[in-house]
Amino acid sequence: MLERIKSLLGKDWTDVSDLIRSSLRSDIDLLDSTNAAILSHGGKQLRPLMSLLVARSCSGGVVNADSVRFAVASELLHNATLLHDDVADNSSERRGVPTVMSLLGGPASVLIGDYWLVKAVENILSSRDLGQVVIRIFAKTLSDLAEGELLQLQKAACGDTVEEDYYRIIYSKTASLFEASGLAAAISVGAPEQVREAVREYCVDLGIAFQIKDDMLDYSGGAGLGKPVGADLDEQKITLPLLGALKNAGKEEEARIRGLVMDIGVHPENKLTVRDFVFGNGGMEYAAERLEEYTSKAVKALERLPDSMERACLAEIACQMAGRSK
């Protein structure tokens, strides 16, 4: 589906892809070759794709240089955070290939992540009229990302994550960048405030749905997961499928399961027990209901945008999250 949408975007998508590559070009061979390797396993590129669709939805199908710059910045910033996350999480694999951290070490991964981050900032600030406005939006996202990561580390150490914590974490770590990408796109084409608000709601709900689906796949597996199944439990993260299952457990059972998660570092065999608990106590069904809820909210928000092919594509992206056709 995403490849079809890229084809529909035509030259606008080509311009984004070209600017991503040119932004990262360096005469340092190690940096240049590493950047090229990262781009060759670039993932879905969902954020810049969504950003272009939003810009075109808000403008009657026309984008400008700022639309392209801000879409590029969203992808550069996203990959910068992944390079940093791989160090924080000690990840050896991402998107089915070894991480930069595993190949070159943590310091190199952080430095290359910094490089991508600076290139994102440069693209935003290259907008003469809107750079100062949009950089504040992306600065908030960076703050959200750091706070979300630290809250997740704090909760993993304590084993006391509740659903309110979970939603704050996934807004900060995932939905916030979706929000910034969409808002920047709407601003780039001068969308009025009521349209920007609809875009913001769509992007936040889409980001939350995206992360719920990812957290479900951590238990069930699936094509394109990009990380080993059970990676969240390895890091003692309590995500929505487990929180849903805990709703159906008594206090003693809840304490026992949380204790098993806390001990996974010493007893990795606990993962199977926790996974069986999630499947046996309605955890996946609960997460699927929340996924459908946020998907429906995202699609509903789009009704306030003009009817267009791009709006239909945005709705299709959201619906694919929940595995439905419309």
pLDDT of 179: 98
Give the total number of structural domains in the chain.
1
pLDDT of 229: 67
CATH number reported for the structural domain that contains residue 302 in this entry: 1.10.600.10
Neighbours of 164 (CB within 10 A): 8
Residue pointed to by tokens 């089915």? 96
pLDDT of 312: 97
- Domain span at 168: 2-322
Residues 48/6, Cβ–Cβ less than 8 Å: no
| Geometric angle at alpha carbon 245, from 213 and 210, rounded to 5° | 10
Determine the Cα–Cα distance for residues 191 and 311; give it in Å rounded to an integer.
14
What is the token pair recorded at 207?
A: 């980001």
Residue pLDDT tens, the chain, 326 long:
889 999 999 999 999 999 999 999 999 999 999 999 999 987 889 999 999 999 999 999 999 999 999 999 999 999 999 999 899 888 888 878 899 999 999 999 999 999 999 999 999 999 999 999 999 999 999 999 999 999 999 999 999 999 999 999 999 999 999 999 999 999 999 999 999 999 999 999 999 999 999 999 999 875 444 556 688 899 999 999 999 999 999 999 999 999 999 999 999 999 999 999 999 999 999 999 999 999 999 999 999 999 999 999 999 999 987 775 45
Residues 170/204, Cβ–Cβ less than 8 Å: no
226 — phi, psi (to 5°)? 85, 0
Length of the chain, please? 326
What is the token pair recorded at 306?
A: 């003009």
pLDDT of 227: 55
Residue pointed to by tokens 């609809």? 198
pLDDT of 314: 97
Helix ranges restricted to H, the chain: 2-9, 11-23, 29-40, 46-59, 65-88, 100-104, 106-125, 131-158, 163-170, 176-188, 193-220, 231-234, 240-246, 251-262, 270-280, 283-301, 309-322
pLDDT of 224: 46
pLDDT of 326: 52
3-class SS at 144? helix
Determine the Cα–Cα distance for residues 122 and 102; give it in Å rounded to an integer.
28
Number of alpha carbons in the 13 Å side-chain half-sphere of residue 157:
6
68 — phi, psi (to 5°)? -65, -45
β-pairing, 93-94 vs 97-98, is antiparallel
Radius of gyration of the chain (CA): 20
| Geometric angle at alpha carbon 8, from 307 and 81, rounded to 5° | 95
